[in-house]
Each structure stands twice: as structure tokens, then as C-alpha cells.
Structure 1
Amino acid sequence: MDSLPTRAAISRFAVPDIATLPQDMQDMIATVQEKSGFVPNIFLALAHRPAEFRAFFAYHDALMDKDEGLSKAEREMIVVATSGLNRCQYCVVAHGAILRIRARDPLIADQVAINWRKAPLGARHKAMLEYAELVALDAEEITEDDREELAEAGFTQDEIWDIGAIAAFFGMSNRLVNMADIPPNEEFYTLGRDPRK
């Protein structure tokens, strides 16, 4: 009989003790831990490179924490769809949990990650994810017609930029996570699965 799998390491690279990190990074990690109840592995895995840690999370937050334009659920939908295309288990699982919570839908993340075209989405979201997929896989093919289609679907120029920037940023993030072999925290798998909560 095969033995049960052991819990994976957080990264193939060095993971420093939180107590040894600069105070601003300790504070950021403590805030995330207080909000979620655990420390997402990406914070620990990037902590050995403080300048990159700060730059990564500053750009992440600039894209994902806006209150204007795209909804926070739409932003997470882009992450989950493009991360599925890029075969990034960490981002599909982690951002899938956030999408389930923000959309208040326990099924949507799995549907979008596997094949957003088969998910029960309206025309606006399908147009958004079609453009995000183009950015993720064939950015050199983008034309003014693609942007015009999004405008016709009701997106502003700022929202079109955000769709593209989120898909591009997470393309980098997906590759970084896969390169470092960062596994999703077990806690992410069950978040947002119960529609009654």
C-alpha cells in the first residue's frame, strides 16, 4: 500500500523565519494572517528577497484592491481563468477561494479555472475573459478590434487596461510560483465552498 503524501515544502528556495524579516514585511504578514487566519505560502516564499517582495505585493495590491472599475470578483475571475491556462495550481486554488467568497458562489472558481467558456457567465464576463486569455497566451496578436469589442461590452479604457494588466501580472506570478514549486495552503481548498456562509 502506498503511503500518504507528506506536506510539501513551501518553496524550492530559502524561506526565512518571519522574526528575521524587516519590520514592514513582518507587519504586512501579520495583517494578512489576522485577516485570513493563516499566512499564504506566497508571502513566505517571496520573503527571502525583500525588495522583490515589496514590489510584487505593491503591484498586486494596486491591481487587485481597487474600489473603482472592475469589481473585486471580476478581478479574481481574471486571475483564476488565466492561472488555469498557465497551469498554476497555487493561483487557481488560492484565488479560486477568494473568487468563491467575493462572488458568493461555491461553484464559479472551478468552472472558470477548467474552461471559462463553459461556465455560466454573461456576455460581459465572457468578453472580459476572452481578452484576458489573449493577453495570457497570445498578447502579440492583440489588435484595436479586441479593445473595441471590450468597449462594446461596456468596459471603460481603464477597465480594459486592468483586464490586461491583471492577466499579464499573473502570467509572471504563475511562472514564478511554478518555478519555485510553491504549493497552495491547505486552508484555501475549503474556503467559500459552503454557500450558507
Structure 2
Amino acid sequence: MSKPISRFPVPEIAALPEDIRTRILTVQEKSGFVPNVFLVLARRPDEFRAFFAYHDALMGKPGNLTKAEREMIVVATSNANQCQYCVIAHGAILRIRAKNPQIADQVAVNYRKADITPRQRAMLDFAMKVALEAHTVGDTDIAALSDHGFSEEDVWDIAAIAAFFAMSNRLANVSNMRPNDEFYLLGRVEQQA
């Protein structure tokens, strides 16, 4: 018996506005399935567009943070926010981007013991502070990142990713968003042609 992917109604893909339907079908073609977040958020087209525009601006941009490091931020902070969907989904993306089948589990469970660099640990220390106690962020936190080679723009990116996914985590938890089964094996086992 298939479990629902959300506690809220999920629209049919065919009934969605063309731009949203096209985006979802493009993702499906590329990955072989439709991540449930697309279906759950599609119930409100304007918010879907805004959400994914900001997501893409943060996660796909060039910069000093690698795509894998951006995913590390999502996995660590989503675990702290107890967001099953984001830990599972972005854990899969992290495994793929890092080309490491173990990294996502390590980062999710306890990034301080994960096989990551001191620079990445400092990045995640700051991201966790933003996710859990942003009101305490001060100049010493910024200086600590600077000591690891992070620029002012990098600091903004780390903070923005942690903040954006804090919002995403809350929506996923409130909607009871279910991770796709496909995410569990991505980046762990070699894909069959």
C-alpha cells in the first residue's frame, strides 16, 4: 500500500500551469522520477516559482562553495531541524556530488566526526548556528570563517542556504512530505544502464 506523499492535496501534473509542468517533467526525465517536493509545492504555483527560483539562485550558482559543500549545509541543518525529507533527498544529492557513498550519513548524524576538512567543519559550525541560533551570530563567527578562507560572499551564501532550508524543513515537516524511495539508493550503489 502506497503512503501519501503529503497531508495536503497534491495536484495532478497535467493540471499544472505549463511552466511548472515543464519543469517537473524535465526533472523526471533527468532523474527518472519526480521528487515529491515538486508535487507537494505545486499546489501553490506562485509559491512554487518563488521557492525554486531562490533554491536555484542559492544552490546552482558558481562560487567558492562547491555544490557538494552546499549540499552538506542542507544535510547538516536539515538533520538539526529534524526534516526527514530534506536529509534523505539532499543526502542523495550530496553522495552524488561528493562521489562518496558515506558522506551524507556522516554529515547528517554528526558532521563533527565526518570525514570532512577543517574548512568544511567551520562552514557547518556556522551554518548550524544560523539554523538554530542566528540571533547569536557575531563578528567572531565571521572572523572564524575568514580564517578558513571564506569571503564575505561565501558567508552570505552559507547563511542564506541554512536560512532557506530552515524554511523548507518546516514546510516539509508540516506537510508530512514523504521522501521518494528512489533517494535511498542514489549515490550508494552503481546505477544500472
Q: TM-score range by the shorter chain?
A: over 0.9
What is the CA-CA distance between 1:10 and the residue it aligns to? 1.3
User: Structure 2, unaligned stretches of length 5 or more?
Assistant: none
- CA offsets per residue over residues 3-42 of structure 1, 9 Å max, x none? xxx4320111111111111000011101111111100000
Q: Deviations over 1:34-86 (max 9, x none)?
A: 11110000000011100000000000000001122210000000000000101
- 1:166 paired residue among 161, 166, 178: 161
TM-score, normalized by length of structure 2?
Answer: 0.97
Q: Does 1:11 align with 2:6?
A: yes
Match for residue 45 of structure 1?
40
Over aligned residues, Cα RMSD in angstroms?
1.2
Larger displacement relative to structure 2 (112-121 or 6-15): 6-15
- Give me the identity figure in percent: 62
Determine the structure 1 residue equivalent to 2:22.
27
Change (3 A) 1:195 1:153: farther
SS in 2 for 1:184: coil
* TM-superposition CA deviations, 1:127-174 (whole Å, max 9, x none): 000000000000000001100110111101111100000000000000
Query: What is the letter of the counterpart of residue 88 of structure 1?
Result: C
Of residues 67, 79, 88, the one that matches 2:83 is 88
Taking the aligned partners of 1:137 and 1:143, their CA distance within structure 2 comes to 14
Distance 2:191 2:27 in 1: 24
| Further displaced range: 67-76 or 102-111 | 67-76
SS at the partner of 2:64?
coil
Q: Unmatched 5+ residue regions in structure 1? A: 1-5
Once residues 68 and 34 of structure 1 are traced to their aligned partners in structure 2, the CA distance between those partners, rounded to angstroms, is: 28
For 1:8 and 1:74, locate their aligned partners in 2 and report how far apart those are by CA, in whole Å: 32
How many pairs does the alignment contain? 192
CA deviation after TM superposition for structure 1 residue 102, in Å: 0.3
